[in-house]
A and B are shown apart, each in its own frame.
Chain A
């Protein structure tokens, strides 16, 4: 098994693993936006850039460019730096670029408190901005009654496109235009035609897609999260209830420690049942492997 050194921590990992997972094994945090373990890496957000020294003909050679941790496979003897000055600079650059047009409307954003952009911006961002130009704004478009879409907050990670293409099997969302006019949108402005569309909310790392039913009703940090399931659900969705003072405000999928969904949940569970009597609280979430749960996603015919 190849051995790599990440920030001075030596770990032994299985062959073919990416730098990101080796770092996670070593307990080193590397920020990610577009990376989602369900999909093949896309490498477009560039926040996970790290400096890599690889073994070439018995010598450690520094790679001329920073490499993306989410897609670069490890090789034996690699030395990886995730927080030296070059890397910190690059991360800061990406953070500044992502926030260049972001409306920074966190006070009224439902994602606040559990937003990747907030977390990484706080940790890795610049304390000052260089921008002196107007921010880009998009024409308001919508995804129907269930999902609130605020395109100005989007960071163009395209997780939602990939989820709907590869798991929900609906070809509804796409990337339109190019350059800094890039917009995530659909041909007709309509509800995403899937019984599982609500999962786009959970897959979105920022406040672009949020739950319309709980909009402006409660802050995320005021909620207690309780794993539960609904006996009547024909899919057996494993949900997470967001409860405050005995009232259900929202229902989401359950997440693992990297804030990745453990399984999809259906829209009926997510949006329709806000009465405590419908739900059975689980003592603790039985930790089945992630892959098995993903496999449970039904085919399109079912949806």
Chain B
């Protein structure tokens, strides 16, 4: 089934359009709204944005392929992004990534079997002072040590288990 935003979110997109002289400007904000709703923007999200803004779909597709912040496929419940740029690299992001792979079995660029985690490397997250940094969905986790990563992952697993019961 084709993807659609809820009515309130559609209103929000319509409101955002009024901020700009031209609806084309609202492509990025609209895709952010789609991402808030389901964590990723795929082809169907792209089509929906084009319909809402009444712009040619190629404009939206160009933007989607250019801006790497928008995932083009489902990314699980927790989208883990570890910075591997210079500042984080100097303070041990490589070990952190190895730890994620070896200990927790969260392999790069792949959804885990339980559908919880998706992990990929990203370029600088702009928090170099507190390196190494990891972003999970919208949240930053800074000054990480390997033990803290363990705790975080365990915490995520637990809370998602609770979520199922509810």
Whether A and B touch directly in their complex, counting CB atoms under 8 A apart, is answered as yes
Q: Which A residues form the contact surface with B (CB < 8 A)? A: 171-178, 186-187
Q: Are B58 and A177 in contact (CB under 8 A)?
A: no
- Could you tell me the distance between the alpha carbons of A169 and B58 in the complex, rounded to whole angstroms? 13
Residues on A with beta carbons closer than 8 Å to the beta carbon of B57:
171, 187
Residues on A with beta carbons closer than 8 Å to the beta carbon of B62:
174-176
Q: Are B61 and A171 in contact (CB under 8 A)?
A: no
Please indicate which of the listed interface residues A174, A186, A187 has the most CB atoms of chain B within 10 Å of its own CB: A187
Q: Are A173 and B58 in contact (CB under 8 A)?
A: yes
**A171/B66 contact (C-beta < 8 A), A176-B61, A187-B61 known:** no
A174-B61, A175-B62, A176-B66 known, 11 other contacts, Cβ within 8 Å:
A171-B56, A171-B57, A171-B59, A172-B58, A173-B58, A174-B59, A174-B62, A176-B62, A177-B65, A178-B65, A187-B57
Residues on B with beta carbons closer than 8 Å to the beta carbon of A178:
65-66
- Could you tell me the distance between the alpha carbons of A248 and B12 in the complex, rounded to whole angstroms? 58
Q: Are B58 and A187 in contact (CB under 8 A)?
A: yes
- Could you tell me the distance between the alpha carbons of A187 and B66 in the complex, rounded to whole angstroms? 14
Residues on B with beta carbons closer than 8 Å to the beta carbon of A171:
56-59
- Could you tell me the distance between the alpha carbons of A178 and B64 in the complex, rounded to whole angstroms? 11
Residues on A with beta carbons closer than 8 Å to the beta carbon of B61:
174, 176, 187
- Could you tell me the distance between the alpha carbons of A177 and B64 in the complex, rounded to whole angstroms? 8
With CB as the reference atom, state the residue of chain A lying closest to B64: A176
- Could you tell me the distance between the alpha carbons of A216 and B39 in the complex, rounded to whole angstroms? 48
B63 to chain A, nearest CB (A): 9
B47 to chain A, nearest CB (A): 9
Residues on B with beta carbons closer than 8 Å to the beta carbon of A175:
62
B24 to chain A, nearest CB (A): 11
- Could you tell me the distance between the alpha carbons of A174 and B46 in the complex, rounded to whole angstroms? 14
Q: Are B58 and A186 in contact (CB under 8 A)?
A: yes
- Could you tell me the distance between the alpha carbons of A172 and B58 in the complex, rounded to whole angstroms? 6
- Could you tell me the distance between the alpha carbons of A173 and B46 in the complex, rounded to whole angstroms? 16
With CB as the reference atom, state the residue of chain A lying closest to B47: A187
Residues on A with beta carbons closer than 8 Å to the beta carbon of B58:
171-174, 186-187
Q: Are A176 and B59 in contact (CB under 8 A)?
A: no
- Could you tell me the distance between the alpha carbons of A172 and B56 in the complex, rounded to whole angstroms? 8
Residues on B with beta carbons closer than 8 Å to the beta carbon of A173:
58
- Could you tell me the distance between the alpha carbons of A208 and B122 in the complex, rounded to whole angstroms? 33
Residues on B with beta carbons closer than 8 Å to the beta carbon of A176:
61-62, 65-66
With CB as the reference atom, state the residue of chain A lying closest to B67: A178
What does the 1/0 interface line of B43-83 toward A look like (CB < 8 Å)?
00010000000001111011001100000000000000000
A241 to chain B, nearest CB (A): 34
What does the 1/0 interface line of B24-36 toward A look like (CB < 8 Å)?
0000000000000
- Could you tell me the distance between the alpha carbons of A173 and B57 in the complex, rounded to whole angstroms? 10
- Could you tell me the distance between the alpha carbons of A175 and B59 in the complex, rounded to whole angstroms? 9
- Could you tell me the distance between the alpha carbons of A187 and B58 in the complex, rounded to whole angstroms? 6
